[in-house]
Amino acid sequence: MRRLSLTVRLSLMFMLAVTAVLTVAGLGFNHLSQLHFKSLDQHTLLEKLQSSQSILGALPSIEAFDEAKPQLQALLGAHRELTAIILDSNAKVLFADPAQVSIPERFRTSAGQRDWEWQDQEQMFRGMTAQVAVTGQEKPLTVILVLEVTHHMSFFVTLQRWFWIGLVISALVSAGLGWVVARSGLRPLRQVTALAASMSAKSLKERIPMAPIPLELQQLVSSFNAMLARLDDAFVRLSNFSADIAHELRTPVSNLMTHTEVVLSRKRNTEDYEETLYSNLDDLTRMSRMIDDMLFLAKADNGLIIPERKRIALEEVVAKLLEYYYLLADERGIELELSGSGSVQGDVLMLHRAISNLLSNALRYTPQGKTISVQIRQNNVSTVLTVGNPGEPIPPEHLERLFDRFYRVDPARREGGPSNAGLGLAIARSIVEAHQGRIWCTSTSGWTAFHMEFPSPEISKDGLSLGRWTVS
């Protein structure tokens, strides 16, 4: 079954609301009008009855009734729609105006004073029956007053007919107006839908303007624009990433092809073949390492990197790494120093790799004869490891993108060695985030430092994420 559109639903709801309001108002008006006319009729009958009682009560005896007829005629005959009948104790008609009138027998008797209604075919009557005592007579006289209200009932029938006709017309008009209003109000949603349907890789920079959007939809449109911004950023990164992969793989593949073509160009001795194979092995090693790094990052992006949860003393991990890098640093006259201590809950192999990437990066850019400093600080909330080195400062616009894959501050895209494919900082960030921490870079006044922050062992021992902290 096809579901109704939101515009049709709102139109139907608006129509039902208008119809309900008009129905209640119409029925209420009809009921109050009938009560009003009934009250007027009762007031007229009661007034005539009281006047008749006054005239009949003033008679000295029943024999003087004929003397009161002119007064009764003047009182009761002046009302064209009023019928009056006066009966004696034997139900004999003493007075009737008009003379020819037929009233059901059940209304001719009364124990006191009562109102009644009676319908004869298309005529409607409303009457009142009462007893009036006359001086010198034991049994009272019966006064019957009947008021024809057919024109009242005809008015209400006509009123109800036109009410239902007007209600149907109002329902149709309100449905049309509701459709127009709903369609106009949902125009921003159609804009979002049209933009989403036309979205492609070339139109991710388009945004829905916020100025004409109603307040109720601004949050939706703002969220949609933010989603487009994220998609645009992700697509740009993916495009750059694809270009970087092609760029990084092109050089070793080109080297392999060149070396192979040169060797195959003529017959060579065994030493030449071995030299070529060793050269090719270097390029293959670089490609293999790059592929391994890419697989690691792909697993990290999909949450498949789950570190162990062991208590690790960071100063011990850093000390072992400094022993390994000591020979490389000594060749360039660079000193390595470690200060502070602290521990974290994590995977020792992953942390070893992340810190090693930072140290390798620091050795690459530290001038000869300078010092690389590793500091560890711990408080009740977090443990921070900082690897700092002197050198050329990094422009602020590059700091946030240093951890992107294959990103280099130098736009010339200079090639690195087998271990320098531009993935080290991206891997370090993935490892730190897998440990529920964060990593960032600061570079001012000729000093560049990379900071890794982890939750303290007491907080992270149950694997709880604390989000982001501020370094004191």
Least confident range from 34-48, 134-148, 240-254: namely 240-254
Residues 71 and 51: their CA atoms lie apart, in Å, by: 10
Residues 247, 357 within the same domain: no
What's the pLDDT score for residue 466?
35
**Which of the four pLDDT bands, split at 50, 70 and 90, describes residue 186?**
confident
Token pair in block for residue 35:
């009560």
Residues 6+ apart with CB under 8 A from 351: 312, 314, 317, 344, 431, 435
Domains in the chain: how many in total?
A: 3
**Which of the four pLDDT bands, split at 50, 70 and 90, describes residue 438?**
very high
Q: Are residues 367 and 390 in contact, defined by beta-carbon separation less than 8 angstroms?
A: yes
* Domain boundary, last residue among 244, 269, 301: 301
Residues 423, 340 within the same domain: yes
Cβ atoms < 10 Å from Cβ of 445: 7
**Which of the four pLDDT bands, split at 50, 70 and 90, describes residue 386?**
very high
Residues 45, 137 within the same domain: yes
Question: What does the pLDDT look like over 90-113, one tens digit per residue?
Answer: 778 888 877 556 777 777 666 556
pTM over the 0.75 mark: no
Q: Is residue 447 part of a domain?
A: yes
User: Does residue 461 surpass a pLDDT of 70?
Assistant: no
Residues 28, 128 within the same domain: yes
What is the mean predicted confidence (pLDDT) over 283-291? 78
Can you give the CATH number for the domain in which 361 is found? 3.30.565.10
Going by C-alpha positions, the residue among 305, 343, 310, 312 that lies closest to residue 433 is 305
Least confident range from 68-77, 254-263, 293-302, 351-360: namely 293-302
What is the mean predicted confidence (pLDDT) over 134-158? 82
* Domain boundary, last residue among 275, 301, 327: 301
Residues 352 and 295: their CA atoms lie apart, in Å, by: 18
CA-to-CA dists, residue 167 to 2, 47, 65, 375, 433, angstroms: 29, 39, 56, 82, 66
- Say which amino acid occupies 238: L
Residues 358, 454 within the same domain: yes
Least confident range from 193-202, 329-338, 426-435: namely 193-202
Residues 166, 266 within the same domain: no
Domain that holds residue 256: 215-301
Question: DSSP code of 77?
Answer: T
Residues 34 and 159: their CA atoms lie apart, in Å, by: 11
Q: Is residue 188 part of a domain?
A: no
Between vectors from CA 376 to CA 372 and to CA 382, what angle results, nearest 5°?
140
Residues 444 and 418: their CA atoms lie apart, in Å, by: 30
Can you give the CATH number for the domain in which 273 is found? 1.10.287
Residues 15, 135 within the same domain: yes
Token pair in block for residue 77:
């005959």
Residues 98 and 79: their CA atoms lie apart, in Å, by: 11
Cis peptide bond upstream of 393, omega within 30: no
Residues 295, 401 within the same domain: no
Residues 49, 134 within the same domain: yes
**Which of the four pLDDT bands, split at 50, 70 and 90, describes residue 447?**
very high
Stated as kind and residue range, the H or E segment containing 15 is helix 6-57
Residues 63, 121 within the same domain: yes
* Domain boundary, last residue among 255, 272, 301: 301
Can you give the CATH number for the domain in which 115 is found? 3.30.450.20
Token pair in block for residue 92:
């004999």
- DSSP labels for 140-181? PEEEEEEEE-HHHHHHHHHHHHHHHHHHHHHHHHHHHHHHHH
